[in-house]
Structure 1
């Protein structure tokens, strides 16, 4: 684990998260996904598996998940209330602040959840879900948010 953390620091300029948290750089996010493991979300494919492999050789096993997962990002003044319907995680900002992460489930679907930086003064919650379950979870999210109103948008942030 120590070698993997050092390899992440050498490549990304930050150490790999050792506890449930997400660490952002200018072109990637490193998200804790379990003991001694983390996910890398790369902007513009800069950190492809081919680029990462030499630096992590001998210290980590790499697996390309580019097409295996879908990202759902949720924000708004009722985002926390809506997510509380789907998760047992305490999402209050005193407990689940910016950068906090969790491997959890929502509506019987495994997700990696982390709190991104606030946008326009509102909390941003990111859900990374296996692509095969994304549509089902998406509809569950929409159903849970219906009483608050929903605006669907697209971002190139990640």
Structure 2
């Protein structure tokens, strides 16, 4: 396993260097990625959207009390999260719940679900709430809330949906 050092991580090549170095503080499970935009077939159009790359092998090996760095490109920083719970669910899905390392009340801020090779979930900060999803290692992260405003915009369909109600 590879670990990263302390402090906020930048999105540049420093993060790539930290991914290759071995430290004992915390695991890096995601990073900003320019390859993700090219790899994703469906182009989502969410407001405040960024592309990220997950390390699925590391996510599969997470256990309770592990410390991980979760990078949010919109804020250009990583948050150190302590894993509260790792649960195997139906159909082989893995659910990871975590709280910020310096939060004494241990409020859950990270909900991460690994289904096969896809990752999905949400991450909450004081400044907003972020949704993320991946197809294999490449994915996107979009802000759902920043402050009290809702920013998540769903793509519009080309044809209106016909609703048929039974009488």
TM-score by length of 1: 0.28
**Between structures 1 and 2, the one with greater strand share:** 2
In our comparison, the structure showing a higher alpha carbon Rg is 2
TM-score by length of 2: 0.27
**Between structures 1 and 2, the one with greater helix share:** 1
